[in-house]
Amino acid sequence: MRTHLVLLCLVLSGLLLSLGCLGFGESPTAAAPAYNASKAPPVTTPVNNTPLPNATSPQPPVISAAFEMSFINLSMADATLIHTKERTILFDAGSAESAPKLVSYLHSKGIDKIDVLILSSNDPAYVGGAPEILRQFTVSEVWTNGGTYSDALWGSIQDLLGPSSSRSVVYGYNRTWGDLEVTVLNPQTSRLSGEGDATVIKVSYGSFCSLLFSNSLAAGASSADAGTVVGGVDSRIITGPVPVNCPVLRVSHHGSANVASFQLLNKMNPSDAIISVGPNPPQDLYPAPALIRRLILNNVTVWTTDKLGTVTVTSDGTTYSMRSDKPRDTKYGKFLENVIYNGASYWQTTTTTRR
């Protein structure tokens, strides 16, 4: 009998080892190799034309996860929900037009109180929904980038703050709630020129972390090609003392061409990047094919909210997983391939054969 049990254990061990070799045992946090220009894939290499191991079909919201971060699909508006059992943080509040959808989403997650509302700039696409959030939810604390704004939107936000604690935050400011930690990476004490320094944060839960960029106004530039590269934000962040080697990146400014530099990607070594974007006619500048190509060349998996819906990251503090409202499948991979290799518009309606 003992001999039979030993043989059974050996067989099971061999089977488990085989499954591991086939990739079923891979951790979703496995980091992509550092970018090496000499080893970049040629333009004939297919792009993500098979589903990722961690790509899943649509699932209902999981509100009981230890850590959940949702990049909410608000078209050309931005809002990210950071949620644990103990704390709720909202990074930006979308536009005034998207506010009803954002409020509905937060209510669907059972949220009636926001511990920290972070307003990255005075851009209406990022903070236009803040007045409605302040009306609909109890907000304990508001973080701002310290900019001095005199526009009507910012005035209405100030009028609604009430007893909420409002503070200006700069590089290095840090708060910890159990396993959850938020560290400010931008603005810095030495300010950039232009409209202002949009807030960038590092969100950590246990050993998992992510970098969340917001508006490219942090670059102090205003052209359609503006981004965190020209203004020096990327270089400031990667040369600062706060470690930025994180597997998840929220890309700045709807995927502008001039964000997420090779230097930033090489320092971060991310595995997944989320682009919050929606139709932006007539020029359809975002997301820029050059940016998508740069991410692909660095072995980064791209998630765009207009095609996939709300993208959600969950973590137990060690590993993490990704999901989206719509499956990230072969069709989506071929679509990206057509954009970066065939020069097709991101906002095309049909997919052509790769040349």
Residue 258's pLDDT is: 77
The domains of the chain, with CATH numbers, are 42-51+66-342 (3.60.15.10)
- pLDDT category of residue 206 using cuts at 50, 70 and 90: very high
Does residue 78 register a pLDDT over 60? yes
**CA separation for the pair 227, 218 (Å, rounded):** 7
Percentage of residues of the chain with pLDDT beyond 90: 50
Could you tell me whether strands 200-205 and 311-315 are parallel, antiparallel, or unpaired per DSSP bridges? unpaired
- pLDDT category of residue 275 using cuts at 50, 70 and 90: very high
Burial pattern 195-216, b for ≥16 Cβ within 10 A else e, equals bbbbbbbbbbbbebbbbbbbbb
Does residue 329 register a pLDDT over 50? yes
Comparing 126-135, 203-212, 325-334, 343-352, the range with the smallest average pLDDT is 343-352
Which ranges of the chain would DSSP assign to H, the alpha helix?
2-21, 99-108, 124-127, 130-136, 152-161, 233-239, 262-268, 289-297, 305-308, 330-342
Residue 5's pLDDT is: 44
- pLDDT category of residue 288 using cuts at 50, 70 and 90: confident
- Asked if residue 297 lies in contact with residue 39, where contact means CB atoms within 8 angstroms, the answer is no
- Asked if residue 241 lies in contact with residue 211, where contact means CB atoms within 8 angstroms, the answer is no
Does residue 126 register a pLDDT over 80? yes
**CA separation for the pair 299, 319 (Å, rounded):** 19
Count Cβ atoms below 10 Å from residue 185 Cβ, excluding itself: 23
- Bridge partners of 37? none
Residue 13's pLDDT is: 42
Residue 132, both tokens = 């409605």
Residue 244's pLDDT is: 96
Residue 179 neighbours by CB under 8 Å, 6+ apart: 66, 67, 84, 205, 206, 317
pLDDT digits (tens, 9 = 90+) for 98-116: 999 999 999 999 999 999 9
Does residue 41 register a pLDDT over 50? no
**CA separation for the pair 93, 103 (Å, rounded):** 9
More confident site: 38 or 86? 86
pLDDT digits (tens, 9 = 90+) for 140-198: 999 998 887 878 998 899 889 876 678 999 999 999 999 999 999 998 887 765 444 78
More confident site: 158 or 92? 92
More confident site: 25 or 169? 169
- Asked if residue 59 lies in contact with residue 326, where contact means CB atoms within 8 angstroms, the answer is no
pTM, entire model: 0.79
More confident site: 9 or 330? 330
Residue 64's pLDDT is: 52
Count Cβ atoms below 10 Å from residue 289 Cβ, excluding itself: 18
- pLDDT category of residue 284 using cuts at 50, 70 and 90: confident
**Which residue type is seen at 327?**
P
- pLDDT category of residue 71 using cuts at 50, 70 and 90: very high
Contacts 24+ apart (CB under 8 A), 159-164: 160/130, 160/131, 160/134, 160/135, 161/134, 162/134, 164/117, 164/134, 164/139, 164/140
Residue whose structure tokens are 């708060």: 175
**CA separation for the pair 167, 134 (Å, rounded):** 16
Residue 219's pLDDT is: 40
pLDDT digits (tens, 9 = 90+) for 224-237: 445 555 567 888 89
Residue 7's pLDDT is: 44
Residue 277 backbone dihedrals phi, psi, to 5 degrees = -155, 160
- Bridge partners of 116? 89, 141
- Asked if residue 36 lies in contact with residue 266, where contact means CB atoms within 8 angstroms, the answer is no
Give CA 274 to chain center in angstroms.
4
In three-state form (DSSP H/G/I as H, E/B as E, the rest C), the secondary structure along 193-226 is CCCCCCCEEEEEECCEEEEECCCHHHHCCCCCCC
DSSP state of 86: S
| Per-chain mean pLDDT for the chain | 78
3-state secondary structure of 170: coil
